[in-house]
Structure formats: C-alpha cells, structure tokens
Amino acid sequence: MEQDTLDLRNIDSQTAEWLVGIGITTNKAFLKLGAEKTFKLLIEAGFEPSTDVLYALKGAEEDLDLDIIAKRERKRAKSRFADMDES
C-alpha cells in the first residue's frame, strides 16, 4: 500500500472524494487520524456518511476486509456516533 497516495482498502470513489474534501489525500494522513476521527470530521464537514462508511474506514485502518470487522467493533463504533445526527 503506497503511503503517498490515497488508496485505501474498502473505500469507494465517493468516500475517497469526501476524504480529499476534508484534506485527507494520502493513506498516511488517514492513518494518522484514524477511522473514528476521520468519520467525525466527515460529519462536521457536512457530509452524510452512513455507518457502513465508518465500518469501511475501520477496515481500511486495520487493513481488513469490511466483512471481517468484528461485530463488537461495529456495535461500539455505531453507538459512539449514533447521537451525532441529533447534534
């Protein structure tokens, strides 16, 4: 995986555009922030990512396929950001 470009596992073209839109243009920049901080920044920037985007970001961070992310991680991540829609 190249660190000087944005080429992350599980990340589709729409999400990649959003990442560039918030200034994340390399894998290294993404990994420095992490999945949860990146997800929060997407929301703060006015994008409307689904929880599937959060799971994809977590998979990208851990270099795992989306389907391999543990159920407990999905539940934990979802609960941490569930109330962000209300903010």
What's the pLDDT score for residue 74? Answer: 67
Low-confidence ranges of the chain (pLDDT < 50): 1-2
Burial of residue 19 (number of CB atoms within 10 Å: 0-12, 13-18, 19+): buried
Cα–Cα distance list, 11 to 28, 83, 84, 85, 87 (Å): 15, 24, 22, 22, 26
Q: Which residues contact 28 (CB under 8 A, 6 or more apart)?
A: 3, 4
* Residue 6 contacts residue 26 (beta carbons within 8 Å): yes
